Amino acid sequence: MEYSVREVTGFLQTHFPQAYEGKKEFHVEAVGARKARVRQSFSGSQLRPGGTISGPTMMGLADFTFYVAILGALGPVMLAVTTNLSINFLRKPLPADLIAEAEILKLGKRLAVGHVHVFSDGQAEPVAHASLTFSIPPQ
């Protein structure tokens, strides 16, 4: 059974309100078919010298988006955690919203493996690519 944007967002707002505080401002735009799309609102606090968005900002968005894809596929899984995240920064992101698109490539009983492309709003090519593995707790 797949879960909707509304169900996933409600779960996150209840159990992970920190994802919506401060300068993060994550917005789940789509969930389904082992995929998710999340937008992170732009904030000047994300910028590094030279006008680029920081690596930790993009890594956090990739991690969050993959977790959203898992929630969309499995429903409320409180203790699913990142066991590996590898990211390649491909080009300089614009000072704009970031959009991440996750895809789960393998969803097993104990592990989820997949990748996330991060885009700057308005750019066709990704600014980063992350490969992730999450550990899924036994039910």
**pTM assigned to the model:** 0.93
Sign of CA dihedral 15, 34, 38, 72: negative
What is 42-83 written as a DSSP string?
--GGGEETTTEEPHHHHHHHHHHHHHHHHHHHHS--TT-EEE
Report which DSSP code applies to 2.
-
- pLDDT top residue among 69 and 22: 69
The DSSP output letter for 110 is: S
Q: What's the CA gap between 131 and 136, in Å, rounded? A: 16
d(C-alpha 17, C-alpha 86), whole Å: 26
Sign of the alpha-carbon torsion through 58, 88, 69, 31? positive
Report the pLDDT averaged over residues 98-104: 98
pLDDT tens for each residue of 45-99: 787 888 889 899 999 999 999 999 999 999 988 899 999 999 999 999 988 999 9
Kindly indicate whether the domain formed by 5-135 is annotated with CATH number 3.10.129.10: yes
φ and ψ of 66, to 5 deg:
-65, -40
Domain residue ranges in the chain = 5-135
